[in-house]
Amino acid sequence: MIIGNANVFVDGKFQKGSVAVENGVITAIGPASWSCDVDAEGRYLVPGFVDVHTHGAMNEDFSDGKPEGLPTLSRYFAAHGVTSFLATTMTLKEEVLTPAMHTIRDFVRPADGAKCAGIHLEGPFLSYAKRGAQAAENLHKPDADLFRRLNEASGNQVRLVTVAPEEEGGLDFIRAVSPVCTVSIGHTTADYDTAMAAYAAGASHATHLFNGMPPLHHREPGVIGAAFDSGATVELICDGLHIHPSAIRTAHRLFGEKLVIISDSLRCAGMPDGPYELGGQPIEMKNGKATLQGTDTLAGSSSNLLAELQNVVAFGIPLEDALTAVTSAPAKAVRLDGEIGSIAVDKRADLLLLNPDLTLHAVYVDGEQII
Ligand SMILES: CC(=O)N[C@@H]1[C@@H](O)[C@H](O)[C@@H](COP(=O)(O)O)O[C@@H]1O
């Protein structure tokens, strides 16, 4: 199949062209004049989005361990341009996380859904002081054996784990686990020196930068300064509620291609306002804003990568940079850039056609049009 007459996003830039796909893989990138099977009519042809931090949507949550919930989630993501996602769990007890790992391991993508590219363990190895919406009673000291048991239960699908490096055993955990998957610093009180030590020990990512960590102070630069100095990739929740647009513009100038837009979406995404649950705690969504019930503590988002792409472009981030932050940057951050996240020969043919106003026109997964 050839998708022609497109504005193709290749190597961070747009070029007029065509893309050939065979057996689910991109086989060639050619001129716009190629005779084609699908006429893109000048639309943007971009890689499918990669969300490395999403807990749920449509009243389903990966932590539930409910097999019937996963196809619903997979279809929801595809409908918002996300072709690969990391199923992200909350801070819960091992006996709750283990069945969730089994469910994710056994998930088979529905023909009209997005791919599960692995798991993000957001906790339980987090700091009490910066737990945010994570349940205090389920926090656990960094423990590489517990990580190994969970990873094994998932069929070795954990691609990302968030840890607070200042907790006892934090640096040993990072040394043990970073050869297995990407280790991210988050939900942490780490100061600059501790965060630098964590990056030197093998961490390479920061979980929802700004949220759940000390701010960037001119004498206490903390995780944000250390991530910058270490060349780490950094997540950013761009729902317009978690981070002021000015801080998003600042992070964009600081982190460039290292910026990874995430949804951090919860089961209330795609649902009406009302009461919901997150990691064993009651939450409430009002006007799309989710908080721990009865508090002002933000509890993740009700957004998705397509809406966030539209947000950041409206905030002044160039489209090319915003696209990098939802495609190749997240794929690289979790070591999947050999397969997904870019339009290049031999990569999976996970592609989107976007209209000029950045709404979704078509979604292809493994070369098959599913939307
Ligand atoms: C699922 C999850 O953990 N999400 C975190 C939440 O815990 C934290 O409260 C919030 C604000 O953090 P902040 O108050 O430090 O900006 O960011 C994210 O929504």
Q: Which atom of ligand 1 is nearest to the CA of 122?
A: 3
Q: What is the pLDDT of residues 265-296, one digit of tens each?
A: 999 999 999 999 999 999 999 999 999 999 99
Output the pLDDT for position 338.
98
Q: How far is the CA of 362 from the centre of ligand 1 (A)?
A: 32
Q: What's the average model confidence in pLDDT over 170-189?
A: 98
Output the pLDDT for position 164.
99
Q: How far is the CA of 300 from the centre of ligand 1 (A)?
A: 6
Same fold across 1-47+342-371 and 49-340: no
Separation between Cα atoms, residue 325 and residue 187, nearest integer Å: 22
Q: What's the average model confidence in pLDDT over 134-161?
A: 98
Best of 53, 236, 242 for a ligand 1 pocket test (most atoms within 8 Å of beta carbon): 242
Q: Are 80 and 306 in contact (CB under 8 A)?
A: yes
Q: Where are the domains of the chain?
A: 1-47+342-371, 49-340
Q: pTM for the complete prediction? A: 0.99
In CATH terms, the superfamily for domain 1-47+342-371 is Urease, subunit C, domain 1 (2.30.40.10)
Take atom 2 of ligand 1 and give the residue whose Cα is closest.
Answer: 300
Confidence band, pLDDT 50/70/90 cuts, at residue 357: very high
Q: Are 183 and 153 in contact (CB under 8 A)?
A: no
Active site residues: 264
Query: What CATH code is assigned to 49-340?
Result: 3.20.20.140
Q: Are 348 and 25 in contact (CB under 8 A)?
A: yes
**CA 3 to each of CA 95, 178, 248, 258: distance values in angstroms, whole numbers, following the listed order:** 47, 39, 34, 30
Q: Which residues line ligand 1 (CB under 6 A)?
A: 132-134, 208, 211-212, 242, 264, 297-300
Q: Which atom of ligand 1 is nearest to the CA of 55?
A: 1
Q: Which helix (H) or strand (E) holds 95?
A: helix 94-105
Separation between Cα atoms, residue 100 and residue 98, nearest integer Å: 5
Burial of residue 328 (number of CB atoms within 10 Å: 0-12, 13-18, 19+): buried
Confidence band, pLDDT 50/70/90 cuts, at residue 348: very high
